[in-house]
Structure 1
Amino acid sequence: MFKIGLIINPLAGLGGTVALKGSDGMAEQARALGAEPRALQRSSLALAELVALKDHVRIYTVAGDMGETVCRTLGLPFEICYRPGNPTTAGDTHQAVPLLVQRGIDLLLFAGGDGTARDICAEVPEHLCVLGIPAGVKIHSGVYGVTPAGTGRLLARLVRGEPVSLMAAEVMDIDEAAFREGRVRARRYGEMLIPGELSYVQAVKVAGKESAELVLTDIADDIIERMDDDTWYIMGSGTTVAAVMERLGLENTLLGVDLVYRKRLVVSDLDARSLYDQIRDKQCKLVITLIGGQGHIFGRGNQQLSPEVIKAVGRDNIWLLATKAKLNSLHGRPLRVDTNDPGLDRELGGLMRVITGYHDEVLVRVANPEDEAE
């Protein structure tokens, strides 16, 4: 029997359709503007995936719209562990989590947005796996499924006992008041353990320009922390690498290749020959990104990174950067390499680490079609 804790924030997402940029403390105003709750409907989409598995699950939840209503409607087996006030508040979530944990649940499922994730994160033990149903206005955190149905499918895999890896994901939230005034103030509130399935779980902070900036900052901070004073860094083209240069306070050639040593810019916009002459006898790291939608690492807009340069650096010294949104845009396709050296292309094949955030990496396959067919 797979034991699931369930908490639904029935007010989550209420302010979205009426352009309130969030629902925190805005429920009455949202309703006055004609907003309708959607958290229960989105929770139903996720939990519907468990109906066929109901003999194998037991749900421990909260009375009323914080969980009971959806379970009762779908005919899922449940037990009420907490009765909230009316209207419900964040305090109800804080009180309910420990009571559900006491029941020995295998996973805590919750519906809401970043505010709800913050409330859950404040109470849940580090060892417990959680999974969020996206129902809020602000969903920058990496603890939510890409869709309600996707969340449900991943949950069904867990119930069926299929092997699923685990990973730590960040809980992020922004200041709604500042956001409504056009200013983005983001803060990291911690991490929670989630099923680490990239096809089902969304990337951290990928919705909107301000979110992309946040995740690029995370990636840049990770790279800068890794840098040492004995290594030369070849900085490739693209906005992801540009974010690292910006964080270092260095000028950047967006569509070119720069060379950095001891966190100082040495040479800008190098061509292939000049770059090779600069690094052939040095300890180097190559910092690059991939092309979104295509997945090319080499051979598309960065021909300055010639086969000679790549061989001089070595495969193990390539730092590949990408947001999870960019990886998701590949829809499971492998990364591609087109160095104009077929032998090198094959050597670059296989699993490669991709830095996707601060202390956050995933393994992605590098393979060209011609090599896959062999």
Structure 2
Amino acid sequence: MTATSLVARRTPIYGLALLVLVVTLGCGAAIGETSIPFDVVAKTVANKLWQAGYALDPIDQGIVWNYRLSRAIIAACCGASLALSGVVLQCLLRNALADPYLLGISAGASSGAVAVAILGLGAGILSFSFGAFIGAIIAFGIVSLLAARAGSGTAAIILAGIAGSQLFNALTSFMVTKSATAEQARGIMFWLLGNLSGVRWTDVTLALPVTLLGFVVCITHARSLDAFAFGADAAASLGLAVKRIYAVLITAAALMTAIMVSLVGSIGFVGLVIPHAARMIVGVRHSRLLPVAALIGAVFMVLADILSRIAIPGQVLPIGVVTALIGAPAFALLLGRRGSTR
């Protein structure tokens, strides 16, 4: 089958995937404590992007454009990025329990955010999200150095990630305990559990390009990931530059996770459960697995965000609570199904 015929064959599938994503984003913009009709959402987008001139209620239009739509796009980017990172790490580390936070990135981001918010690091120049991003990168650097000193192999990376996570979690707890007021501690705790309330279009201009770039990097290495599924030695025997591919893919996963954590905080189970769910649907070939995992992750996060806004009237749940409440039972079911098929 030629490349042209393959693309032609898969075009309807790509179109369906895009339709599912657009409908999900529309639901994220329409559903909330105050429901807004889908046609109002569509007309708002047309007014803002193409100056269509539809007469709409300014309040409804403001809710859709300034609050809900940007929030839904960030949720989709976050879900897709974490799912992609989970697929990559589970393959490279050959560990079914590997997830994007294994490398200590989430713990480092928490420490960076707390250092800015509580200790005033940066003298007001650094934002909360940028502090989280710097902390995530520092944590990834430390974990990488620990892994390099411990030796090559996936076990070294996993052990270094666990050590780094414990170190930065302890540092975060120390700073909160020593310096935070009760109000600051509540705010930090809410952010650590995942918070999409503060995201705006400026955050979309960061999250969307990072997600797209991460997807391109991952999908261009799909064949390499297929080879790594049999181990690094098997990949090397096929002529692959093992160390370079490791470095590129793990760095891509780390950067995607760092950006998302810096924007919305720690959100668990997405990068752990979604890759397994996607494998059950399309198998282990990464040319199919990566796009499906990204789509499922994006849709799941948008739906989880909707649920976080409507579950308790007048109150917004941290989205990490919702993903954990759904993800933990789902992961248990996946484990049970996997065990029953052996």
Q: With structure 2 as the length reference, what TM-score do the two structures score? A: 0.25
TM-score by length of 1: 0.24
Structure showing the higher strand proportion among its residues: 1
Which is bigger in relative contact order (C-alpha 8 A, separation at least 6)? Answer: 2
